[in-house]
Structure 1
Amino acid sequence: MKKLLAMIAIGLIAVTYSCNPVAEMASPEDISVANGRLRFRDFDHLQQVASALRQHQTKAELDAWEKKFSGFTSMRTAFERLSVSEEDIETIGKAQSEKGYESLLRLDGEQGNLEASRLIDSEILATLFNGEGIVLFGNDAFKYGRGQVYVLRNFAESKLQNLNAADEIVVL
Structure 2
Amino acid sequence: MKNKSFYVIAVAAVMLFLSSCDKEESIQSTETSQSITLKNGMIVFNTIDDFEKTIESLMKNQSNLDQWEKNFNGFTSMRTAYDNLSEDDMQKIASNKSSHQFIDILKISDDQEPEALMNIDDEILATLVNENGLLQIGNDVYKFRYDMLYKVAYKDLDKLANIDRYSKADLKSNTIETFEVSHNYFVTDLSENFKADRTCDRRYWKKDRKRLKGEQWTTNIGSLYSGAGARTKHQKKTLGIWWRNKTQRLRLRLNGNYTQVFQGIPQPPIAVNEDSGWATDDGREAYTFDFCVNVNCSFQINSLTSTHECTCDDGNYESCTIVF
The TM tier, using the shorter chain, reads 0.7 to 0.9
Superposition RMSD in Å: 2.2
Whole-angstrom CA distance in 2 between matches of 1:150 and 1:130: 14
Q: Does 1:91 align with 2:95?
A: yes
Structure 1 counterpart SS, 2:62: coil
Contact kept? 2:69, 2:77, Cα under 8 Å: yes
Structure 2 counterpart SS, 1:141: strand
1:21-55 CA deviation, whole Å, 9 max, x = no partner?
Answer: xxx9xx74221111111011022211111121111
Whole-angstrom CA distance in 1 between matches of 2:36 and 2:161: 25
Aligned-residue offset at 1:56: 1.6
Aligned-residue offset at 1:168: 3.0
Alignment of 1:1-172 (within 5 A): 28-29=32-33, 30-58=35-63, 61-85=64-88, 87-93=91-97, 97-110=98-111, 113-163=113-163, 164=171, 166-172=173-179
Structure 2 counterpart SS, 1:156: helix
Contact kept? 1:154, 1:168, Cα under 8 Å: no
Structure 1 counterpart SS, 2:109: strand
Tell me the equivalent position of 2:231: none
Whole-angstrom CA distance in 2 between matches of 1:109 and 1:89: 14
Instruction: Find the structure with the greater CA-based Rg.
Output: 2
Amino acid at match of 1:31: I
Amino acid at match of 1:76: R
* Percent identity of equivalent pairs: 34
**Regions of 4+ moved over 6 Å:** none
Whole-angstrom CA distance in 2 between matches of 1:78 and 1:166: 32
More helix by share: 1
Whole-angstrom CA distance in 2 between matches of 1:122 and 1:42: 20
Aligned-residue offset at 1:167: 4.3
The 3 A distance-change label for structure 1 pair 109 and 169 is closer
Higher relative contact order (CA 8 A, sep 6+): 1
TM-score when normalising by structure 1: 0.72
1:38-89 CA deviation, whole Å, 9 max, x = no partner?
Answer: 011022211111121111211xx00111100111111111111111455334
Structure 2 counterpart SS, 1:136: strand
1:87-113 CA deviation, whole Å, 9 max, x = no partner?
Answer: 3342242xxx312100011112547x4
Which segments of 5 or more consecutive residues in structure 1 lack a partner in the other structure? 1-23
1:118-137 CA deviation, whole Å, 9 max, x = no partner?
Answer: 11111011000001111011
The 3 A distance-change label for structure 1 pair 155 and 98 is farther
How many residue pairs match? The answer is 141
More strand by share: 2
Which segments of 5 or more consecutive residues in structure 2 lack a partner in the other structure? 1-27, 164-170, 180-324
81-90 or 115-124, which deviates more: 81-90
Contact kept? 2:76, 2:130, Cα under 8 Å: yes
Aligned-residue offset at 1:152: 1.3
Aligned-residue offset at 1:162: 2.7
Amino acid at match of 2:106: L
Aligned-residue offset at 1:139: 1.2
TM-score when normalising by structure 2: 0.40
